[in-house]
Each structure stands twice: as structure tokens, then as C-alpha cells.
Structure 1
Amino acid sequence: MNAQQPHTPVTVLGLGAMGRAIAGAIHRGGHPTTVWNRSAGRADDLVAQGGVTLAPSAAEAVRASPVVVVCLLDDASVRDTLAALVDPLAGRLVVNVTTVTPNQARETATWAAEHGIEYLDGAIMAIPEMIGLPVASLLYSGSQAAFDTHRNLLELLGGARWFGEDAGLASLYDLALLGSMYSMFAGFAYGAALVGSEGVPAAEFAEMAAPWLTAMTGGLAGHAEHFDSADYTAETQSLTFNKAAVDTIAEAGRDQGVGTEVIAVVQHLIDRQITAGHGKESFARIFEGIRRPPTGGGGNEGR
């Protein structure tokens, strides 16, 4: 693929909130922008601003541009849409920013290669309102040539980082980060429910939880050292010590009549490691139970 021209035409397939934000940022960046959406009406605001073209069909939308950004609901909708566009997509670049699993991204990349379509998988670490702002971050993997050629275009959406030729890597990082986020929010919900059982507003609890959780992120690097080295020597508090604390947190939840499912997961991870003989090691040892979960009839966390 040749070096990107200053105003490469771009097509956006899918005009949900994120797709509309992407199309708007690309258009503001000076690129002729064509859009298509399965249901009508989603492009009205974009078209009304001038300079954005609504294509009557997905095929015509694809033919309008050498770069096609796909932002649909899920992997199934991506497959269904692209399968009908094999001929017009040949020789073009598909940038798929739909949330998919790493294996789904790899399968789409393989399909694209088989049909002469260049492919980049993208993961959006932002909400629609953040697109085009410095706080937005987008992760990419797949064709390095495509990423290098179109980096200026991609950076209209937010900070752009390429993770490698393996098309599944961007999705892998995306889902790992989201998994960490959802687990944190679930923990906050448990804490809010616990104090809320005595009438404490969640907003008041949030004022305490935010700086506390922020301070605790300072320990991530230390945990990562344990994970990477597999040395779980406890410098201060052992798993057995932490078990007493976590069991007490769960007991308080039961006493207060709130659901304890969130903290029960942590209890289970601790208990498995202690049962396997690692009670004197650090809390970070639960990582082994996550990356090597029990299979079949017994656990295999012991190292």
C-alpha cells in the first residue's frame, strides 16, 4: 500500500454512538467520509453538517473509499456484513474496531487475507464522547504496513498504538484492561452495598473509595514482579493472613444482608492456594490459580 495521501477517503460501516463519533472525527480531520448503517436515520445529523455522504448500500459505501472502518455490534454482525462485500473490499483496508475476542480477530484477519483484503483490528479504550480527544486511546494489531501508512488518520480518533502482526493482540489487551475495570467496579459496588446497608449514600462512599483505590494501584508493579518471576515469597502479609481479612469482609456482608458473590470469588482463589500448601506465600499467589485453573478431577495450581 502506498503512503497515505493527505485526505484519503474513508468509509464507516455502522453508525451506533461510537460509529457516529468515529465518522465525525474523520470528517473533521479533512477526509472525504462515506457512511452506511443497516437501519435508516442514524446518519441524519452527520449528513446535515455537510461533507458526509450516506451511501444507499454497504457495497456502494465500500467502493467509495480505500479505507473502511467497521464499527458494528459484535463479531457475528461483522462476519455477516463483510461476507457480502468480498468483491468490493478486495484491495482495500478494513479497520475493524468492533469489540471481539482475540480468536475472532484472528479468524477475520485470515478471512481477509484469503480475499486480498488488508486488515487491522482495533480496540477502543474510550467512550464515544472521548473520540478525537487526547484522552482517547485506540489499540491496533495486524498489518504493520497499514498501521504505518494510515497512522495520521488513525490518530484523528485518539492515541494510536500498534501491538504486533498478530491480529488478536489488540483485542487481548483490550479485554484484559476491561476485565480489570469491571472487577474493580464490582468491588466498589460491594463496598457501596456494605456501607449502604446502614444508610450511607454511595456518593459519600465514593469520596473515600476513589483515593483509596488510586493509592492501591501503586502496588500493581509489585504484584507483576511476583507474577513474572513466580516467586511468591511473602515479605509482609501471607495468604493465611489475607484469608482472615477476606473471610471477615464476607462475614460482614452476610451480617448486613448484602450479596457476597464478589468477595466470595476472592475467598475461593485464596482457599485453593492454601489447600495446595501455599498459605505462607503472598496474596499475589492467587495469580497461579487464575492462569492455571483446576481441570478435570483436581487442581493443578501447585508449582
Structure 2
Amino acid sequence: MSQQNEQSSVTVIGLGPMGRALAGAFLDAGVRTTVWNRTPGRDRELVERGAISVGSPEEAVAASGLTVVCVVNYDAVDGILRRDAVTAALKGRTVVNLTADTPHRAREAAQWAAEHGVRYLDGAIMTPTVTIGTPAGVFIYSGPADLYDEHRPVLDALSGTHTHLGEKICRAAAYDIALLDIFWTAMAGYNHALAVARAEGITARELAPFAQGIGAILPAIFEGVAEEVDDENFSDEGSPLTSTASTMAHVIHTSEAHGIDAGVMRAAEGLARQAIGRGYGGEGFHRVAELLGRR
């Protein structure tokens, strides 16, 4: 295959819901797309749309200068790419790993790639499958900047926003973990709130508009807290930890009065009480970020 053809082609390994969305977006953008999946049959619709299906992962990675991997975790990545034939076929080629896992695993993957002559970028997808191929998609990457710039034209075929976070290979995974932390704790809180509201005779639909109001004030709070944490300014006369812990206790008591588990809020209250016990009762809840970060 000529260098020009390799630069306008891509291989997608992993055809779960997200992998199929990635391959479909590449196809829609006119990029020559080769696909492979451990479980046969998931490529049928993609092949009908013009994808090239191959019988082995080594054939798949050899078909393009760029391979995008999106599987369940890095154990699955290792099980595919670390086969001798696949590793040999990847030498001198680029892997963009969009599989979600931990920063530690990202570092391990990059070390393996360097030892075997594989060019490597780590990455993460921060939006659901329905956003892929639309302006709403959000992709983050970390690793060598020149490698990212080289393959940016093909990655741009996925549409959306693409951000290179720096050369430190684990930065994309670290952002992913931190942002998932926000999302899933928020979703746990929302679902817990719905349970408490329903126990008090309030339907989820009735609560939702007010919950959206809470969500609307968060962006400004996030920005302000971030500045204060970075500046180590934890004062908050308007909402000190002593007041915060009291409101948390109200949620706990109401929940448990209805037999609803309040473990998440009890954990949050416990952090507030720890901070108060260390003499920070007059400061804001963001003091907890500093306490948790102590080693």
C-alpha cells in the first residue's frame, strides 16, 4: 500500500457499540476503513456500507498506517495486539487506543509499544455513541504531539472536538477517570434523590425541572472551586463545612427513615466531619479535595 493510501485509511479493531460507531463515522467521511472483531458477524452492516472485513487482527493492522482500538479494557487490548504476528505487523505503524482504562495501564501500553517499534497514542471518548460523527463528539488524546498532528486529518473524520492534552502518555486516561468520577457520582446522587423524592410522594417528572436548575448552577461553581483549589484558598463564609455537614445529615435522616440506603451521602458527610475535626469547620467543602490529595 502506498504512503498516500495509508494516510487516508484506518483500521478499527473492536466492534462493540462504540467501535461500530467509530467505523461508521470513518466510512461516512470517505475514509478507507478495515475492520476486525474477535466475535464474528458484527461487521455485517459495516461491510454493506463499504468497510473491508479481514479474518485476523494481523491482517487488519497491516491494512492501514493507523489502527484505532476500542474494546472493553486494556486486558482485551493486550490479548489482541500482543500476539506475535500482530505485534510484528504493527512495527512502524500507529495505534490510537481509545479503550477506557486507568492511567497506569496507559503507561504500560506505551512502554510495550516503544519496546516493539509501535507508534502509540492514548486517548478516550468522552461522549456516548450517538455523538460519534457529529459535532457533539468529544475526543481527548495524549502522547507525542507530532504523531497526533500526523494522524489528525483521519481522526478529524470522526467530527466533534479533538484535544491533545500533552505528551505525557497517561494524561488522557487521567482526564477520563476524573471526569467519569464527576459523572457517576452525580448520577448516583440524582438517582438517590429520585428515590427519596418518590418516597415523599414526588414523582421523578415533578422533580426533574428543579434538578435541572441545580445542574445549571454547577458550571460557575466548578470554575470557582477549581481556581480556589489551585490557589489553596478554602475559605467560604457563605457555606462553611459546619453548615454543609448539617444539610447532609438531613438527607441521611430522611433517606433512612424511608429505608433508603444513604451510604453515598454518609461517605460525603464523613469527609465533611473529618475536615471539621481537623479545624476546618469555617472553610468550604472544597477543603476536602486538599485532604483527599494528602499522601
Q: State the TM-score, normalized to the length of structure 2.
A: 0.94
CA shift for structure 1 position 128: 1.2
Residue 209 of structure 2 aligns with which residue? 207
Residue 25 of structure 2 aligns with which residue? 25
SS of the equivalent of 1:35 reads strand
- The Cα offsets for residues 127-157 of structure 1, whole Å up to 9 and x where unpaired, read as 1111011110000001211210111211222
- The Cα offsets for residues 88-108 of structure 1, whole Å up to 9 and x where unpaired, read as 000100011000111111110
Query: 1:29/1:6 Cα in 2 relative to 1: closer, same or farther (>3 Å)?
Result: farther
Q: 2:229 touches 2:289 (CA, 8 Å); kept in 1?
A: yes
- The Cα offsets for residues 226-285 of structure 1, whole Å up to 9 and x where unpaired, read as 211222122322111211111122111122221111211110110101111111222221
Residue 53 of structure 1 aligns with which residue? 52
Query: 1:146/1:5 Cα in 2 relative to 1: closer, same or farther (>3 Å)?
Result: farther
Please give the alpha-carbon distance, in whole angstroms, between the structure 2 residues aligned to 1:38 and 1:5. 26
Q: State the TM-score, normalized to the length of structure 1.
A: 0.91
Please give the alpha-carbon distance, in whole angstroms, between the structure 2 residues aligned to 1:289 and 1:232. 11
Q: 1:4 touches 1:149 (CA, 8 Å); kept in 2?
A: no
What amino acid is aligned across from residue 274 of structure 2 in structure 1? Answer: R
Larger helix share, 1 or 2 = 2
Please give the alpha-carbon distance, in whole angstroms, between the structure 2 residues aligned to 1:271 and 1:235. 17
Residue 34 of structure 2 aligns with which residue? 34
Q: 1:7 touches 1:30 (CA, 8 Å); kept in 2?
A: no
Task: List structure 1 runs of 4+ shifted beyond 4 angstroms.
Answer: 3-7
State the identity as a percent: 38
Q: 1:97 touches 1:121 (CA, 8 Å); kept in 2?
A: yes
Q: 2:237 touches 2:282 (CA, 8 Å); kept in 1?
A: no
- The Cα offsets for residues 137-183 of structure 1, whole Å up to 9 and x where unpaired, read as 00000121121011121122221110111111011111111110111
Please say if 1:9 is aligned against 2:9.
yes
SS of the equivalent of 1:267 reads helix
The equivalent position to 1:249 in structure 2, one of 236, 251, 267, is 251
SS of the equivalent of 1:277 reads helix
Superposed, 1:1-303 pairs within 5 Å as 8-49=8-49, 51-84=50-83, 85-157=86-158, 158-292=160-294
Farther-moved stretch of structure 1 (235-244 vs 182-191):
235-244
Q: 1:34 touches 1:53 (CA, 8 Å); kept in 2?
A: yes
Is there any run of 5+ residues in structure 1 with no aligned partner, and where? 294-303
Provide the aligned length of Structure 1 versus Structure 2.
Answer: 291
Please give the alpha-carbon distance, in whole angstroms, between the structure 2 residues aligned to 1:7 and 1:88. 17
Is there any run of 5+ residues in structure 2 with no aligned partner, and where? none
Q: 2:7 touches 2:151 (CA, 8 Å); kept in 1?
A: no
Please give the alpha-carbon distance, in whole angstroms, between the structure 2 residues aligned to 1:4 and 1:219. 48
Please give the alpha-carbon distance, in whole angstroms, between the structure 2 residues aligned to 1:203 and 1:107. 46
Q: 2:62 touches 2:90 (CA, 8 Å); kept in 1?
A: yes
CA shift for structure 1 position 7: 5.8
SS of the equivalent of 2:52 reads strand
RMSD: 1.7
Q: 2:9 touches 2:65 (CA, 8 Å); kept in 1?
A: yes
